[in-house]
A and B are shown apart, each in its own frame.
Chain A
């Protein structure tokens, strides 16, 4: 995939400037400042990992200090107890990284699973440094307990050398991270932050990505910790502690979450300034930081860097330069999961919440090229049925087969791989991503995103492309999704679902809140999808006129059971259906829809 060259050029440009500054800085700074800066640079790399996790991906982590501590102790323990030399240093670094990866993988496995609340992830990251510190305390002479370890042999290079090592490390990490967050994969992280559910239903393995990211962040943390211990010749439990973990959050929040550069500057500035101020004003300094932190979280959640850049732009009168929108490239849909036989067979599916039966004994099948509408009064179980089809965990019992393959107990990302695409009731998109980015995120499974670059072309199946072009989205590819009109948001989500190249499309009230013109346009697209592409579409719809116009078959649900399954004419003419709707209108609004 071709890269957008400007990003790489930006990174090289800034990287070279940063390296040049680093190269000469020690000659202008006194040794005290150099020493302070070495530590600050390493801590800044740690703050950067917090930004990746929290700022970009939305995982509020208190635990990055744990990895820093692990890396630092790996260094200190090996040098103290085993030996010192180049091979020992490499071994220590290797052990630190392995330990950090193992801990990160374990914590990630615990914290990130399908359906986990974001809070739970934070709880696990909160427990992490507490446990690490306790292990260090309990380690007695081996870990030095509260006193830590010091005086172990290390490389007594000059401060300049250490400064260059730490500086180059930070610049390289920041440069790579910069490319990464601006790559297509980086957009996926933001998509996870914005709307994790939508991501899962786009077939993105959210948990695996989060775990991997935590492992990477842990690795960077461990390397930084290793460097810290090797330079300072000291480790202490506080390096892996909860308080350092919260301090990192403060630096990131003040600098500007989700900006990479902000947290790096924040970490360096605050750490260095505290070296000067905490000596003369220990308590007031901490108070000041506390007040600033609260003020920023409440009033400027994006932190100070975006404010500064905005001010700067205003001063020099420059507008934000928009990246070029990618070229759209039509492709022929492969129709994921398509095989021989019936696209969808549902047998004996039921769903209960406690003693409440919401669905029972659901049997039906859907055919190719069929637009199957699910109708029924509120509380009939329509949306629940859609959920059971799109997420293997949802149903309480029964089997669902897609082109002969069992849905089993798999999460939504696997359902997508079987060929199911689901559109939610309310427009479910990624608010701060552009239209093009939303669509590209939807292509995650079929066009795996690059982790270093953003593609210049965006491949879309014809059906999705048609929606993008017909609804005017093609002209707004660079617009952030939250700025779209309501109808366009609905259209965008539908296009995202179709970008999955599904064989079966589940639509939950796709026309809710649309104007008549928009509704007709959607209707035409759906009809053509079934007729031209021969997709199976399952539609939940309240608007019975719309159903009548476009459906090829209708299923009527009532009180969790299928009461009628037949052609449009049969349903329209049914006495039973009329009674159900008449009865339901008396107690409308009861129960989940």
Chain B
């Protein structure tokens, strides 16, 4: 059954843009509070930055809904963020300046708070079940990633003879 769920995941979900537009406003306002309290960025600077961030997110969602091919919303939102800030995009300097007033860690805080509230009974059972296992796997994840990057970089440097 799980296999078919995976298969279905690759088809385009119907995003209700109006719903998302409203919920995104709430989420951005929550993020603005974090941005003001933690990194102590002036409220009006943060507000302008958040408007830019909001518009990029909405543009990404619109593309997720209507683009000729499907990409997940995070990929579209990220791509819009990149294209909007490329040096040769008109007005990109202004967009970059506004976005600088938004701290990325401050935006992650509310997302993790929602995640803490979303913990279900079943998850606690899973955590209890595989706690030490995940810790062990995590250590190998870090080791594997670091060692893998070192080996590839080493090989390319040798190949280039530099």
A and B part of one assembly: no
- Chain B residues with CB under 8 Å of chain A are none
